[in-house]
Copies of this chain bind each other. A is one copy, B any other.
Amino acid sequence: MQFIIQRNRLINSVQHVMRAVSSRTTIPILTGIKIVADSNGITFTGSDSDISIESFIPVEEDGDQLIEMKQTGSIVLNARFFGDIVRKLPMDTVEIFAEDTQHVLIKSGKAEFNLNGFDPSEYPLLPQISEEDVFSIPGDLLKMMIKQTVFAVSTSEIRPILTGVNWQIEDGNLICVATDSHRLAKKSSPIDVPGDVSYQTVIPGKSLLELSKILDDSDHPVNIVITENQILFKTKNIHFFTRRLEGNYPDTSRLIPSDYKTNITLDGKVFNDAIERASLLAREERNNVVKLASQGENMLEISSNTPEIGNVSEEIPIESLQGEELTISFSAKYMMEALRAIDGTDITISFTGAMRPFIIRSEEDPSILQLILPVRTA
């Protein structure tokens, strides 16, 4: 294998596939990046047990020659050393020459690295995915839907299924739901599939987080293929594989109350800042609890109390309160994360009493819903 490649493109591909490489793997070859050079271009692959990422650089793109291919072939190189080396190379082009697996020369200008490689035939094969059932989502929408739900997955392995985001496609909509059983995030969006197509799958939260870091903010389509065990996300030059989580995702629709006793509409930014201040003294408590108490139709009081440190209270204006007056306590962390996901100017919070879950919605964007379970306080 021997080729000359543009350094910037090489850095970019290596950074992408390194997201799938774990330094803690017990399988030595998975600490490496597989490089396969054929007449069309070069494919880089990184993988751990959950995620595999392929990044392809074509020999030529839009009339620019990106690679001068001297000899096709393949090699596996230690991901961390290879990544460090390509970032620090002195010139804009790099020559890589794998004489055999133990002698790989990386050359740029006067700098020459000889790296020991691994035998590429020992690298595990990625799943072969037939492309029958493909649908597509604009990249920026996909990135947004991940961001608005993935933070709410469970970090505990007690119920593994809750570490994933539930994706459901029906009636031409994609509905994403994540919950750790203390709060829930839900986002839906119409997507371009026939109305009679329906899927349901649970995708690991960690996989979606890594995927969202690779996606850019353009509306270029991401093609998605769901198979029995795997899901493949395909952009122009990247293939991102993740395993599906096994098991039945709980029916969360019953969690979401349908009638409300109190509806409060207010400025999300003002509310978030007050919650953040109220949480300052409470943050070392396990639950980081703040209290919300309505004060008539124009005002809320946000407060918290940590006896050994002190207490804080703040009155903030609201646009409206409809229904019963209310006092309720909840996790400041969950509320701030929900508000960050909604990211709207005006929000409405709908309560069904101090001991029942409440929901937060954006006045501008009805497609997103956040739910939080209150905390029982003395």
B114 touches A277 (CB 8 A): no
Least CB separation from A305: chain B residue = B114
B280 touches A314 (CB 8 A): no
> A266 CA to B236 CA in the complex, in Å?
46
> Beyond A88-B277, A90-B273, is A314–B111 a contact (Cβ under 8 Å)?
yes
A366 part of interface (Cβ distance < 8 Å)? no
Q: Which of B89, B110, B114, B308 contacts A310 (CB 8 A)?
A: B114
A78 part of interface (Cβ distance < 8 Å)? yes
A281 part of interface (Cβ distance < 8 Å)? yes
How many whole Å from A194's CB to the nearest CB in chain B? 50
> A89 CA to B314 CA in the complex, in Å?
11
A293 part of interface (Cβ distance < 8 Å)? no
> Beyond A78-B309, A309-B78, is A276–B88 a contact (Cβ under 8 Å)?
yes
How many whole Å from A44's CB to the nearest CB in chain B? 19
A131 part of interface (Cβ distance < 8 Å)? no
Q: Which of B81, B308, B310, B312 contacts A280 (CB 8 A)?
A: B81
Question: Which 4 A-B residue pairings sit nearest by Cβ, starting from the closest?
Answer: A115-B310, A111-B314, A113-B312, A110-B315
Binding site for B on A (CB under 8 A): 78, 81, 84-85, 88-90, 104, 110-116, 273-274, 276-277, 280-281, 308-316
